[in-house]
Chains A and B, each alone.
Chain A
């Protein structure tokens, strides 16, 4: 069966510091991968998606970036965090069925 991992689970970072969040999927190959952000008490906003290694599409202009160095690895990064980057970051995967399955998420607090 398929499993999706995210780490770290929680993170507290100062404004201006860098960020790297990692997402890995097990039990499938060539998945589509997605990064969403959920602000406190709000809905989910699609940030990036990838249909293959090295292929990244950005949905919202911001100071975040994404990379897919391996088939089942998706990384979300920032060079300098802003207060507004705080939120719950969720990675999701799907493969040909349209149904997206979410990882456990990373809760980021920028102070």
Chain B
């Protein structure tokens, strides 16, 4: 089955700096890669996703890149703000009849003033 590794487990940046979180996956058949943000005690919320036919996707301060050859994808957050502080999860799936997500172990991002 799929295995997703995520690094770092914790990340502390100053407000205004950039943050990068990296994930690798094992199954070359995986073709869908979402990123979720989870605030303390809350449900995970989708912030951006990318499909295997695209190498990069951007939404305002958030961008995701995908390298299918190396089987890794990354989340980039620019101009970080205190409200970006949360746990971020990457995931991977092969979309067939159902989309069975395999999640990384999460990165706790702390944006300090």
Contacts and interface: CB of A to CB of B under 8 A. Distances in A.
B58 interface: no
A45 B106 CA distance: 12
SS of B interface (majority): strand
Interface residues of B, number: 24
B102 A98 contact: no
Contacts of B51: 98
B89 A98 contact: no
Contacts of A17: none
SS of A interface (majority): strand
Interface residues of A, number: 21
Given A32-B99, A51-B97, A59-B100, A99 B46 contact: yes
Interface of A: 32, 34, 42-46, 49, 51, 57, 59, 90, 94, 98-105
Interface of B: 32, 34, 36, 42-46, 49, 51, 89, 91, 93, 95, 97-106
